[in-house]
Chain A
Amino acid sequence: MTDSLQWFNLLEQNRRKVIPMSGANQIPQVSGADPSIGHLEEFNSDPLLFLQRVHKECGEIGEFDLAGLGTILLVGSEAHEAVFRANEEQLSAAQAYQMMIPVFGEGIQYGAPPHIERQQLKIQIQGLKHDRMLNYAGIVEHETTLLIKQLGKKGTIDVNQIFSDLTLKTSTHCLLGAELRSELNDEFSTLYKDLENGIAPSSLSDPFEKNERLTKCIRARKRLEELIGDHVDRRRTKGKIYEDMLQVYMDSKYEDGTPLNKAEITGMVIWFMFAGHHTSANTTAWTLLEVVKNPAYLSKLLEEIDQVFLKFPTVTVESLRELLLLDGFIRESLRLHPPLNAITRRVMSDFQYKEFTIPTGKNIMICPYVSHKLEKSFPKPLSFNPERPSPKDNFSEIAFGGGRHKCIGNGFAILQVKTILATLLKQYTFNLSELPEKYGEAMPALILRPKDPCELTYVKKDGQGR
């Protein structure tokens, strides 16, 4: 977008052209479709810019075309609620997310029949119940303390890299146990990266497109299956019981009494890591960046952290609950920089929203990045305000989605980000190493994160040097 005035003029002309003046129930179509591939190229090159344009041009509901796949963007809490409450028979997540099958493997999540997927999801949530959460805070604090030992007195960090590494360790440790965490070698991280790179904006419209990305991804999955499979065998031989997710997978049975096989266990591990790792890493990075960029709240935030650490010497679920302003910082960062922005459903039978009928076969998309900037839901939406009151309803703030498919890891994610940041901010002062405007956004692999390089300098607070 080089000339914004020209762009706006074009937009105005198109607005007149595309929105039907009569026939109130026709879904507004966004302008600029290429006759053969529709808006695919524009969507793939910058999904967020494109979705913002769809909303600006069409409002609450607008249709675009991804190479023949008609997609309807719905914006606003009322629309979100309608979509999030609809059942799978009407709006299907499974059909919309077929691109996850090569990553997780056949027979897992959306690669499995719905009644199996439902049981697998139930198994996943076993490891995220409240009683398990009590263990996780201590583990995340321990891993952050190990990082602090490496950081030393002062230096520069790249927040993307440092939090990607750290959350890979915390997630693996909490979910798969201390042993696998200690075996976390370069091979594991590389394989894992290959898996993540398997997904790109184009995967939405063409999930099984043959390319090098996908080939690498499938190879990485195979190798991970070997590594995790060996680990499961070793555990079974030892016969010791562990307090982690892997143990939950190993011990769980489907309703008919069959246990999960090794391919399924691997798939469950990848599913879980995939959903939780980069989303949490990016949220940690964004939040720290916002802490540094908003010094007006800093002394209050540090005061809160100091008070809580005085009262509770170690991090616990209780102590985290008292970090209200830090919680506000995280949620406000999630509002302005939501990691997942193409929440999608396939319409399985005509879906009525207000006066519009969305026909079977189309996709519906919800984009937190767009919806979180609605003036109606968030007054002065572009300003960062960690003390902003939460909206009254359950469907305006949707960084974790909503309803039936809402993120089951949302409590764990907040616990993790809070623990990492409280532990770091207690010991270090951070500063931008570049001018604020140099810190932008990037969205590789469909997950929004700070643009590389994203560096901060840090120095240990007085009296805490080693």
Chain B
Amino acid sequence: MLKKTVKVDNRLRYRIELDHDLCQGHSVCIAEAPALFSLNESNASYDQIQLITSEIDEEQSEAAFRAQKYCPNGVIRVLPIEDS
């Protein structure tokens, strides 16, 4: 079974959606995109991922997609912002 790979489209802007239920605080996301994510000490079983900023600027898009790809739990979804 092959892992999904998503290509960055430079014409688009992206936002991030997190599925907190699934996060176990492995911190792979932080290693990939320290400008986007941090861990929040939580009272639950695991420390929880937190978004530093909801806006991803262009230079951060690649890093955001890498975090999505390598998070072992599928917590992170990078989605294009629909033009309004």
Contacts and interface: CB of A to CB of B under 8 A. Distances in A.
B4 interface: yes
Interface string B42-63: 0011110000000000000000
B38 interface: no
A279 B72 CA distance: 17
B26 A128 contact: yes
Interface of A: 85, 118, 121-122, 125, 128-131, 321, 324-325, 327-328, 331-332, 335, 385-390, 394, 397, 402-404, 406, 408, 410-411
B12 interface: no
Contacts of A324: 2-3
B45 A130 contact: no
A125 B74 CA distance: 17
A332 B1 contact: yes
- Chain B interface residue count: which class? 20 to 34
A131 B22 contact: no
A66 B7 CA distance: 49
B4 A390 contact: yes
A403 B22 CA distance: 5
* Chain A binding surface SS class: helix
23 contacts: A122-B25, A125-B24, A125-B25, A129-B26, A131-B27, A324-B2, A325-B2, A328-B1, A328-B2, A331-B2, A331-B3, A388-B1, A388-B2, A389-B1, A389-B4, A390-B2, A394-B73, A403-B21, A404-B21, A404-B45, A406-B24, A406-B73, A410-B72
Count chain A CB atoms within 10 A of each CB in B21, B31, B45, B46 and give the residue with the most.
Answer: B45
B19 to A, nearest CB: 7
A122 B3 contact: no
Contacts of B72: 410-411
A358 B19 CA distance: 26
Contacts of A411: 26, 28, 72
A86 to B, nearest CB: 10
Given A131-B31, A406-B22, A406-B73, A121 B46 contact: yes
Closest 10 A/B residue pairs (Cβ): A331-B1, A394-B74, A411-B72, A328-B2, A130-B31, A118-B45, A332-B1, A130-B28, A388-B1, A130-B27
B24 A129 contact: no
Contact of A85 (B21, B28, B30, B44): B21
A130 B3 contact: no
B42 to A, nearest CB: 9
Interface string B1-40: 1111000000000000001011011111011000000000
Nearest to B66: A321
Given A125-B46, A328-B1, A130 B30 contact: yes
A328 B1 CA distance: 4
A85 B4 CA distance: 23
A411 B26 CA distance: 9
Among B2, B3, B25, B26, max chain A CB count under 10 A is at: B2
A122 B44 CA distance: 9
